[in-house]
Structure 1
Amino acid sequence: MTRFIANARMYSVTPEVEESWKVLLGNVLAMAGADFDYVPYPAPKPLEVLWEREDLGCVFMCGYPIAFQLSEVIPIAAPIPSASWSQGKPLYRSDLIVRKDSPFQRIEDTFGHRIGWTVEHSHSGFNALRYHLLAYRRPERPTLYGEVHGNLITARGILDKVLAGEIDVGPLDAYWHDLIRAHRPDLTDGIRVIGSTDLAPIPSFVAAPGLPPETIGKLRSAFSAAHRQPWFAPLGQTLRLAGFAPVELSDFERTLAWDREARAQGYAMIA
């Protein structure tokens, strides 16, 4: 009999934050009557390998690969960030960051300089940024940047490269940014946000197709009710969470629409 796993790697910005995720997931799983093993999967291990596992029971996955079905998974529930920009919905955006001491004030100021992105299957680190840049391309200016540094893997990779002065601008998942700013302000004191992308569906907890539908239904109900439980408030404060919302595959269609638009305009890769 399959023993299913849980994991919150995408938003485990520090070991202490991951411990809070473990506690929260343990409470949600108990409410659902599910007994999963929390299995750590630290960066920079490739998330696409994790997402291919047949024992996924409750694991964070980015909405873009959910939408184009990089792996066959079933979305369960997505976090609702407590930040005002989420509008009380399971949405997020990408913050476009530069060094605090840089001369750049707008994204347009960075054109001709150096930009970075994480991985091609990332919404916050690639797809959202690419779609955002479409508005600035012109027939006489199809290429916006002098240098493009790709495959920086993680949001932390973007942050570190900006702080080190190795790229001039890069995208940060705004929920990840909110978490790291709350728990490691020493890492964010040296950056500024010069813009943000439009809102899109935030990463969701997903399960492999082998998880029984009855369990998936119970998990959706448990996540939806989590914010009303006495244990939620301190964890919600630590994790910058207002609660969770149940999600379906169709909820992530917006990310595919952004991909189609970029490709239709001949902008498959950031340049």
Structure 2
Amino acid sequence: MGHLIASLPQYDLPFLQADTDAWWQGIARHLRDQGLPDVPDHLTRIEDNERNWRNPNLLVTQTCGYPLMTELQQDLRAVATPVFNCEGCAGGTYSSAVIVHAHSDYQDLTDLRGHRVAINNWNSHSGMNALRHSIAPLAEGKAFFSQVLVSGGHVLSIQAVAAGRADVAAIDSVTWALMRRYHPEASKILRILTWTAPAPSLPYAVRIEADEHTFQKVQTALIAAGADPDLAAVRDRLQLKGFIPCDTPDYQTMLDFRSQAEALGYPVLA
């Protein structure tokens, strides 16, 4: 086995990387306090997050709950659910803000039939799965949107709606809060049409092969970091309040959303 790595890619926006690094330094200190060996000094950032998620040397990461329950179920095990301090979040859950242009006439989801949607990617809960779940009761088993634009990221979806290249997008509530707080330009010309149903927040996870001893120590360290007063300022900048212990079955909600859409004859967002 090579050197252990860690990654926290989910909210690692360019303007927050210094805060994400500071947050990792705090987590790493608590991991070392638990006696874990070879804790990485720095995060590993690569363009292909899935390569890190599948890396056998991964110690801890954050991923999306939908791929956790689908293509990554043989790779990762959820260990802690973050609790965020922002609109659309409650306890250890989050929703997606369904955003449209501020000057549009849309009043509810039914008004979006035949219009263009932007999604960040096909394996996203917040950008695709939650929205599919919301649209399924309205779609009557048919295509609902005229076009699905795959933007490549939530910020790019925000920009697509702001620029008029798409009419609607579902944006993870934490990303939406961070953009409104630190880069409000685009969000000022957008508005929230509605929110998707709540689901467990994006999990911190370990490799599926991690033994129970390691799992428990990582979980304990994360919960301690989430309550550490010395890390309160960086947690605030990241909209983070703390953690709830969890395990992978707690993310069954993601598969429930999918199966409910399928039962209504809407297996693919379209």
Q: State TM-score, norm by structure 1.
A: 0.90
The residue number in structure 2 matching 1:6 is 6
Contact persistence 2:225–2:231 (CA under 8 A): yes
**1:87-108 alpha-carbon deviations (Å, 9 max, x no partner):** 2x22111111111222223222
CA RMSD of aligned residues (A): 1.9
CA positional deviation for 1:266? 2.4
Contact persistence 1:93–1:200 (CA under 8 A): yes
Structure 1: any 5+ residue segments left out of the alignment? Answer: none
For the pair 1:39 / 2:43, whether they are aligned, the reply is yes
For the pair 1:207 / 2:210, whether they are aligned, the reply is no
CA positional deviation for 1:37? 4.2
**Alpha-carbon separation, structure 1, partners of 2:151 and 2:48:** 12
**Alpha-carbon separation, structure 2, partners of 1:135 and 1:190:** 29
The alignment partner of 1:38 has SS state of: coil
- Read off the aligned partner of 1:48 and give its amino acid letter: E
The alignment partner of 2:22 has SS state of: helix
**1:21-79 alpha-carbon deviations (Å, 9 max, x no partner):** 2212221221121412433436xx34333322222212111001111242511212121
Structure 2: any 5+ residue segments left out of the alignment? Answer: none
The residue number in structure 2 matching 1:145 is 145
**Alpha-carbon separation, structure 2, partners of 1:49 and 1:190:** 36
Identity, % of aligned positions:
25
CA positional deviation for 1:138? 2.8
- Read off the aligned partner of 1:117 and give its amino acid letter: I
The alignment partner of 2:80 has SS state of: strand
* Among candidates 86, 104, 107, match of residue 105 of structure 1: 107
CA positional deviation for 1:244? 1.2
Contact persistence 2:25–2:41 (CA under 8 A): no
**1:156-201 alpha-carbon deviations (Å, 9 max, x no partner):** 1211111110000011011111112111112321211101100001
The residue number in structure 1 matching 2:94 is 92
Contact persistence 1:99–1:162 (CA under 8 A): yes
Contact persistence 1:54–1:208 (CA under 8 A): yes
Q: Residues 9-20 of structure 1 correspond to what in structure 2 (within 5 A)?
A: 9-15=9-15, 17-20=16-19
The residue number in structure 1 matching 2:168 is 169
- Read off the aligned partner of 1:77 and give its amino acid letter: A
**Alpha-carbon separation, structure 1, partners of 2:244 and 2:21:** 19
Corresponding pairs, count: 264
The answer to which of 25-34 and 196-205 deviates more is 25-34
The residue number in structure 1 matching 2:58 is 56
**1:241-261 alpha-carbon deviations (Å, 9 max, x no partner):** 111122201010010111122
The residue number in structure 1 matching 2:254 is 255
Q: Residues 75-86 of structure 1 correspond to what in structure 2 (within 5 A)?
A: 75-83=78-86, 85-86=88-89
**Alpha-carbon separation, structure 2, partners of 1:65 and 1:106:** 29
For the pair 1:114 / 2:131, whether they are aligned, the reply is no
**Alpha-carbon separation, structure 1, partners of 2:173 and 2:223:** 22
Contact persistence 2:121–2:152 (CA under 8 A): yes
**Alpha-carbon separation, structure 1, partners of 2:230 and 2:132:** 39
